[in-house]
Amino acid sequence: MAESSPHFDLSCELDAEIRRAAELLGRARRVVALTGAGLSVESGIPPFRGKGGLWTKYGEPPLDGYQRFLADPAEAWRSQLEPKEPWARALRDTLAAAKPNPGHLALVELEERGVLDCLITQNIDDLHRQAGSRALAEIHGNYSLLRCTACNARFPRESFHIDPEDLPPTCPECGGVVKGDTVSFGEPIPADVLERCFSEVEQADCMLVAGTSATVYPAAGFPVEVVRAGGCLIEMNPEPTDLTPIAGIHLRGPGGALLSRLVQHLDAGGVAS
Ligand code: APR
């Protein structure tokens, strides 16, 4: 059972809203969740925007990262193996140390209860996989994987031999150039994962959004699509976002505490799954 974050007190009004969200989820036919960097803040990974955000501190990175990779894959690999940007070093160190938090674990419990049908995450931190999520679409990739730019084959980074003297690494399946699975700025979302996301969004009649500023597309458009098709939107975020006006329920607070409490309401209320 995921324990709620100890340092966040739920008001009676907020708790009533969480119960209402649990009832909504229990009645929904097909529920898809969308998570962003905010859900991993309680695992020690800084978000990108807003308070303590990496881009807030260091500025948004250039939007042609993928084009620069293609222009000189070997050089791009050298700078990834020894990152020069302070934000890249900070992110690498926190990713290695991060562990799933109660928010990740609560989403696994929603999946195991049959309440959550699919989880789309923008996070590359591998924490949903580590927590045990199975029905998972990592729309911006996963830093622990490598991906072939030609055939889309993916490989665990730790079992792939990368020779710093022989860069870029090439695909054992097709010989194509291999890069990190994390989707670079300017890189198209891999077709396989994008098709899966569109299919899940099309079938959903309820979306649970946690920890995203809803500023990066196509992911930011998914909740809008669900609402446009007549579905309901539950948003969890300490701050309002562009989604807040279209959310049927907006729960203001940290994802860990809110999601853990939601699971408790599902238990207590015997909400059918
Ligand atoms: N619980 C829930 N939400 C939180 C928490 C928390 N403990 N702390 C912060 N937040 C919220 C912030 O209020 C903000 O709205 O999480 C959101 C984080 O927004 P971003 O940093 O913009 O992260 P995200 O929405 O995932 O960014 C989308 O942008 O740079 C790209 O590829 C990157 O996937 C990322 C994409």
Q: How far is the CA of 208 from the centre of ligand 1 (A)?
A: 14
Q: For residue 23, is it within any domain?
A: yes
Does residue 234 contact residue 63 with C-beta atoms inside 8 Å? no
Ligand 1 centre distance from Cα of residue 214 (Å): 8
Q: Quick one: pLDDT at residue 56? A: 93
Nearest atom in ligand 1 to the alpha carbon of residue 212 is 25
Spatial contact of 65 and 184, defined as CB atoms under 8 Å apart: yes
Residue 161: inside a domain? no
pLDDT at 201: 98
Residues 253 and 236: their CA atoms lie apart, in Å, by 7
> Checking DSSP bridges between strand 249-251 and strand 136-138, what pairing results, if any?
unpaired
**pLDDT tens across 161-215, in order?**
999 999 999 999 999 999 999 999 999 999 999 999 999 999 999 999 999 999 9
Percent pLDDT > 90 in the chain is: 87
Tell me, yes or no, whether 180 lies in a domain: no
Q: Sort strands 31-35 and 206-210 into parallel, antiparallel or unpaired.
A: parallel
Distance from Cα 41 to the centre of ligand 1, integer Å: 8
- φ, ψ (nearest 5 deg) of residue 126: 70, 5
Q: Using one digit for the tens of pLDDT, what is the confidence trace for 217-270? A: 999 999 999 999 999 999 999 999 999 999 999 999 999 999 999 999 998 765
Output the CA angle 144-185-203, nearest 5 degrees.
Answer: 75
Q: Give a yes or no: residue 81 inside a domain.
A: no
Segment 11-70, tens digit of pLDDT:
999 999 999 999 999 999 999 999 999 999 999 999 999 999 999 999 998 999 999 999
Whole-Å CA distances, 48 to 108, 194, 207, 211: 24, 22, 22, 11
List the domain range (segments joined by +) for residue 221. 1-45+100-140+189-273
Percent above pLDDT 70 for the chain: 96
What mean pLDDT is reported for the chain? 94
Residue 84 pLDDT level (bands cut at 50, 70, 90): confident
* DSSP secondary structure string for all residues of 88-118: HHHHHHHHHH----HHHHHHHHHHHTTS--E
- Number of structural domains the chain divides into: 1
Q: Is residue 67 part of a domain?
A: no
Please give the Cα distance from 22 to 122 (Å, whole number).
Answer: 23
With respect to residue 63, please indicate whether it lies within any of the assigned structural domains. Answer: no
* Cβ(53) – ligand 1 distance below 6 Å: yes
Check which CATH number belongs to the domain holding 196 and give it.
3.40.50.1220
* Ligand 1 atom at minimal distance to the Cα of residue 241: 15
